[in-house]
Chains A and B, each alone.
Chain A
Amino acid sequence: MMKRLIAKEWLELRRDGSFWMLLVILALLAVGAVLGAAEQARVQHEAWHAASAGERERWLQQEDKHPHSAAHYGLYAFRPAAPLAFFEPGLHPYLPVTVWLEAHRQNEALYRPAQDAGSAGRFGQLTPATIVTALLPLLVVLLAAPAIAGERERGTLRLLMAQGVAPGRWVLGKALALSVLLLLLLLPLWLLATAVLMFAAAETDALLRWLGTGVVVSLYLGGFLLICLLVSACCRTVRGALLILLGLWALGTLVAPRIVMEWAEWRHPTPTSLAFRQAIADDLGATAELDAMLAQRTAALLKEHEVERTSDLPVNLDGIRLQVGEEHGYAVFDEHFGRLHDGFLAQESLLQRFGLIAPYLAVTSATTALAGTDLLHYRHFFDSAEQYRRTIQALMNDYITRHPEQDGQRLSAGADLWATVPEFSYEGLRVSNALLSQASALTVLVLWFLVPGLGLLRVAPRLAP
């Protein structure tokens, strides 16, 4: 029965000109989006590679100078593009790709790729993920809305049931037939995207992320298909089913996400850029704590070297002062940036949970996390860059500490010291971290699939002709 149902559904679709027209448009959009995004990702990767190498070269080639001047000379850390960014750019275009690392300050990151979008940016991005999660459900609606309501409206359902066809099995057959058709239609796009991925980064982590993305998208589209069939089973006409489903699609994909996002920002407000900088400056300006830290460290040194005056210390106290100053700043930066990022993550967490109302939020959150283009991954990069900055400061200050100035001659270091600073090598988050951060979204997606499935199992055997 299932085989016959699938064959019949396929035959009908094959002879439906409007379906093919829609499919060709979607396929062209999808292929264009995948290839365009892949090319963009390649350009970004090359730019990242060139910029990182150039920056390293600039650091190594700097002239001889005082190590603290080198710490101020600073350097940029560049965020690499995530391997799945070609499929789901997520927040990548809107989050900075570089951060300026220098002494005393943890700078906010700089330069967003969206700044390069030009006037085309105002139309939004048509990414492969948008096509799959926002537009493809429309195809599912057009395919599945008439699946049962159409047969009822046409009268073929009555004739089928009069033949003794068990409605439960028939509906299950319909669901399977449409699932197989959807899979067949998605397969070429999936293979194309896999080829792009393999070409760009054939790492296990990236492949696992891609596999996870496939599961997440399947759950979402599967849930959408089941809801379409459930509505179709309950409606007397195709028009009624289409109206309900298109309304649900628009509400879930266009309206609800914006409302929930606004609400999340209201619920977990983050400071303005100006207020944020001012708060950091205020805390850094409070020197009482810094003075206490310095006095404590100096006392410890005097005791350690069994001397009474700092001038008798065998170390350069300037290095100690600089390092203590840095450490005082670390606590301030950690607190403020931590609070800022926690606020963003709290908003993100709320969006995941509201996926129950608008599963588009849940699927977008999950695909973005799996693509490595979400806030969590960005924060990980930002924290890694800060750790790198702290490593540089520690190396420079340690060198100063170990080299007391002699005869009032200003300390100077050269290429040997610059080379002790390791190259910034960013190790991204693992797929397991991404999955853990998406527990709510994944739960929502499983429910999104199961609830309409159970509803359909309940409705199907009682189907009215």
Chain B
Amino acid sequence: MVSDLAAAPGNSAPLELVDLHKRFGSQQALAGLDLTIQRGTCYALLGPNGAGKTTTLNILLGFLTPDQGRARIDGVDVLADPEGARRRLAYIPEQVQLYPRLTGFENLEYFHALGSTVAADTDMLRDCLRRAGLADAAHDRRVATYSKGMRQKVGIAIALARRAPVMLLDEPTSGLDPQAAWELNASLRDLAGQGITILMATHDLFRAREVASRIGILVAGRLRQDLDADSVAGAELETLYLEEVRQLQGTGP
């Protein structure tokens, strides 16, 4: 399923970050991040804790204002029109938090009704839950009884239902069992194949290489590597990643 927005590419890249700087007190979270992601690309942003991954996502979501630089989603400037930019993206946080007294389906219906400009009927929403890997029997159970993985799947369904041209994912497979993680990765590949642009912040090298078509290594707020996933082997990626981290920490291999 391809969104209308995704099917109508504009002139600019769907995701564009230019010279982003952000400082929290004495800590430089982003130090001139430049990143352009083309349509239909699934981009894995790798980095250790504190590398600036979450800060990047928060800027794209309009929750943080950069000290310098600009960010555009599908041609919309995040700083100038944060709500307009948000309308063009779907977001899956690391910990999907839902309303425990509502069922999975009711949660999806509520988030979709409040946030989406795309009309949806019951069948379409249930289909999103199925595509996210949530069994039919769980749709109408209260979320209070869900495991973390099941909540994550509802979060994925919320994102799928939006049919947005850009998806932001923060450690999306965190808490998922291997089967669910595999299914999610398959879904992401499928979505990228349909023209959706995906930015995934993670420190899971294995999953990143499995699902992404491009991989960036972010360390100390700078993009140190921007790699074609097909051209780098798993072991090579791990070596590159550790080298970048060690260089920053000033310790040799």
CB pair A16–B101 under 8 Å, yes or no, is yes
Among residues 150 to 192 in chain A, which have CB atoms less than 8 Å away from a CB atom of chain B?
154-156, 158-166, 170
Q: Are B114 and A1 in contact (CB under 8 A)?
A: yes
Q: Are A159 and B114 in contact (CB under 8 A)?
A: no
How far, in angstroms, from A368 to B114 measured CA to CA in the complex?
A: 44
Q: How far is the CB of B163 from chain A (nearest CB, A)?
A: 13
What does the 1/0 interface line of B53-93 toward A look like (CB < 8 Å)?
Answer: 00000000101000000000000000000010011010101
Judge whether A122 is part of the interface by a CB distance below 8 angstroms. no
Residues of A contacting B91 in the complex (Cβ-Cβ under 8 angstroms): 159, 162-163
Q: How far is the CA of A4 from the CA of B116 in the complex (A)?
A: 13
CB-nearest residue of chain A relative to B144?
A15
The answer to whether A4 touches B86 (Cβ under 8 A) is no
Q: Which of A5-13, A382-390, A397-405 contacts B (4 or more CB under 8 A)?
A: A5-13
* B110 close to chain A: CB less than 8 A: yes
Instruction: Write the nearest CB–CB distance from A159 to chain B, whole angstroms.
Output: 6
Q: In the complex, what residue of chain A is closest to B96 when comparing beta carbons? A: A159
Q: Per-position contact with A for B157-194: 1 when CB-CB < 8 Å, else 0? A: 01000100000100000000000000000000000000
* Complex alpha-carbon distance, A158 and B87, angstroms: 14
Interface range on chain A: under 10, 10 to 19, 20 to 34, or 35 or more? Answer: 20 to 34
In the complex, are the beta carbons of A170 and B114 less than 8 A apart?
Answer: yes
Write the nearest CB–CB distance from B22 to chain A, whole angstroms. Answer: 16
Q: How far, in whole Å, are A159 and B155 apart by their CA atoms in the complex?
A: 9
How would residues 378 to 422 of chain A score, 1 for a CB under 8 Å from any chain B CB and 0 otherwise? 000000000000000000000000000000000000000000000
Are A159 and B93 touching (Cβ within 8 A)? yes
Closest to A170 in B: B114
A12 touching B102, Cβ below 8 Å: yes
Question: What is the CA–CA distance of A170 and B63 in the complex, to the nearest angstrom?
Answer: 16
Q: Are A11 and B93 in contact (CB under 8 A)?
A: no
Decide: B114 and A4 in contact? CB cutoff 8 A. yes
- By the criterion CB–CB under 8 Å, are B97 and A160 in contact? no
Residue of B nearest to A173 (CB): B114
**CB-defined contacts of B19 to chain A, threshold 8 Å:** none
In the assembly, what is the distance between CA of A172 and CA of B96, in Å? 25
Q: List the A side residues contacting B110 at CB < 8 Å.
A: 4, 8
List of A residues within 8 angstroms of B93 by Cβ: 155, 158-159, 162
- A163 and B113 CA atoms in complex are apart in Å by 10
Q: B206 an interface residue at 8 Å Cβ cutoff?
A: no
Q: B86, A162: Cβ atoms under 8 Å? A: yes
Shortest CB-to-CB span from B115 to chain A, Å, is 2
Given A11-B106, A158-B63, A164-B87, residue A4 in contact with residue B113 (CB < 8 A): yes
B146 at interface, CB cutoff 8 A = no
Contacts of B99 in A (CB 8 A): 8, 12, 156
Contacting residues of chain B (109-138) with chain A, CB-CB under 8 angstroms: 110-111, 113-117
From A166, which residue of chain B is reached at the shortest CB distance? B83
Please indicate the chain B residues that have their CB under 8 angstroms from the CB of A240 in the complex. Answer: none
Is B162 a contact of A12 with CB atoms below 8 Å?
no
Q: Kindly report which residue of chain A lies nearest to residue B164, judged by CB atoms.
A: A164
Q: Does A465 contact B (CB under 8 A)?
A: yes
In angstroms, Cα B155 to Cα A227, docked, is 32
User: Residue B17 at the A interface, CB < 8 A?
Assistant: no
Residues in A whose Cβ lies below 8 Å from that of B98: 156, 159
B225 at the interface (CB under 8 A from A): no
Q: Which listed residue, A11, A159, A464, touches B97 by the CB 8 Å rule? A: A159
A-B pairs with beta carbons under 8 Å apart, 30 shown: A1-B113, A4-B110, A4-B113, A11-B101, A12-B99, A15-B142, A155-B95, A155-B96, A156-B99, A159-B91, A159-B97, A159-B158, A161-B61, A161-B63, A161-B86, A162-B61, A162-B86, A162-B91, A162-B93, A162-B168, A163-B91, A163-B111, A163-B114, A163-B115, A164-B87, A164-B117, A165-B114, A165-B115, A166-B83, A464-B63
Chain A residues within 8 Å of B, Cβ to Cβ: 1, 4-5, 8, 11-12, 15-16, 154-156, 158-166, 170, 464-465
